[in-house]
Copies of this chain bind each other. A is one copy, B any other.
Amino acid sequence: MFNWRLFRTLFCRTGTLINAIFPRGVMMYKSSLAFMQKFSSVSEPSSDLLNRASNVRRAASYLGQTSDDQRRLALNSMADALAQNSEEIIEANKKDLERSAKDGLADALMARLKLNEIKLESSISGVRKVADLPDPIGLRQLHRELDKGLELERITVPLGVLGVIFEARPDAVIQIASLAIKSGNGAILKGGSEALLTNEAIMNALNLGLSSSEISPKALTLLTSREESLALLRLDGLVDLIIPRGSNEFVRFIQDNTRIPVLGHADGICHLYIDKEADLDQALRIAIDSKTQYPAACNAIETLLIHQNIASLFLSKAIPVFEEMGVSLVGDKESQIIGIKLAATESDWSTEYLDLKLSVKIVNDMTIALDHIRRYGSRHTESIVTKNKTTADHFLRAVDSAGVYHNCSTRFADGFRYGFGAEVGISTQTLPPRGPVGLEGLVTYRYRLRGDGHIAEDFASGTRNFTHIDLK
């Protein structure tokens, strides 16, 4: 059987990226573990790195003030430069492949490392698509008169500088660089050492492209040593957001070793609850899609919770279908009585299989299902199948996950499917940005206040009073 686990999507990618902007996708492997094992302590940044990071920050400061037109032109110029330098990039990639083959890189990783013409063309067309997305910066979120002549605005602005650590796939450089430029951010990128020459060739092309635009090539820089990428975690004040693209363990390692905010998540343990009043055909259809449409994605389900009243009927239909699709089922005692062959252990409930495996539990009522989700879920995405709207509303209110669904597949938890145009990743943290994160995850906001000599003392003394009128 195909080893889905190897194809663990990083940063909880949900698979549609592959079919959308970057057709060949950006998926990574668990080999980031090696990266962590080799460096148990995080090094301090060298003066060279501090200098480079300061240059990125400075360039980003100007980039953040550019118009959408300027950024769109720059992105198209980057795309042009990639096209013009495609031979050099593919040549560099061949060298990376040769060296990695000698080093005995695993076949799956070799496949990911490979950047052929078709893959590169898709990436280039992805850059042009990002160029045409709506501008995420300069949006006014609030406009309020505080007093006559004293007007407050809240405007979206870039975060500043992104620090991105990823592995193997060289096309990730292209994708991340384009999302960064579109959102007005500088970026410090660290790719896998296997892809070193390819990454360098790509970065050269991107810098060339920016050189013939109004945006400084200094806004993007590539780190090439592991020491540098670890020191990157120490660049508080110069880097505003770390985006790790690696395994759950890798993300946790990053979170534990930096004070800079980290956009990412650990597990994606999603549940589908089939209520006693479910349409069983619909329930089966949704269960199959949620589990098998792309099992390696974080938004695929790992556990099926079934109301006892319909469990027997549902499983009699579902078990043969799942078996036919190669899904291995493990279940609690009750479900074993009615047909599941293998027992689920305690650890099954908290395991993200990322594979054609599904745990099944029979529940007496929805409260037990909600308790189970609260205990074992990762607050990613949960779905209920029921014809009863009241039950559905209760579930939608009670489940505290980034996504809570009714009568549809958990696989919709995805930036492209939500209509965000591009997906930075999926976040299971509680604070925003939460769930699928589009370009808006790469911006923040700033308050602008314009007055005419207004001072606080006049309001403290009661000479003047705030009007607090929201303006159109």
Contacts and interface: CB of A to CB of B under 8 A. Distances in A.
A18 to B, nearest CB: 10
Interface string A33-76: 00000000000000000000000011001001100000000000
Contacts of A64: 397, 400
18 contacts: A57-B374, A64-B397, A144-B419, A282-B453, A288-B455, A289-B455, A293-B455, A293-B460, A392-B450, A400-B446, A401-B446, A403-B446, A403-B448, A406-B450, A407-B452, A408-B453, A411-B455, A412-B451
B460 A19 contact: yes
Contacts of A374: 57-58, 61
Given A150-B412, A409-B454, A417-B459, 11 more contacts: A16-B460, A19-B460, A144-B419, A146-B419, A241-B430, A288-B455, A289-B457, A403-B447, A403-B448, A403-B449, A431-B444
A352 to B, nearest CB: 15
Interface of A: 16, 19, 57-58, 61, 64-65, 144, 146, 150, 152, 157, 159-160, 240-241, 255-256, 259, 261, 279, 282, 285-286, 288-290, 293-294, 374, 392, 396-398, 400-409, 411-413, 417-419, 429-432, 434-436, 444-457, 459-460, 466, 468
B453 A285 contact: yes
Q: How many protomers of this protein does the assembly include?
A: 2
Contacts of A445: 432, 434
A371 to B, nearest CB: 9
B146 A418 contact: yes
Contact of A454 (B408, B432, B436): B408
Nearest to A429: B261
Contacts of A412: 146, 150, 449, 451, 454, 456
Contact of A240 (B397, B431, B435, B448): B431
Given A282-B453, A449-B405, A453-B286, A65 B259 contact: no
Contacts of A435: 446-447
A382 to B, nearest CB: 11
A20 to B, nearest CB: 11
Given A397-B65, A409-B456, A430-B241, A417 B447 contact: no
B446 A402 contact: yes
Contacts of A157: 400
A397 B282 CA distance: 53
B160 A407 contact: no
Contacts of A444: 430-432, 434
B259 A409 contact: no
A459 B424 CA distance: 21
A455 B409 contact: yes
A3 B240 CA distance: 35
A392 B449 CA distance: 11
A396 B451 CA distance: 13
Nearest to A300: B456
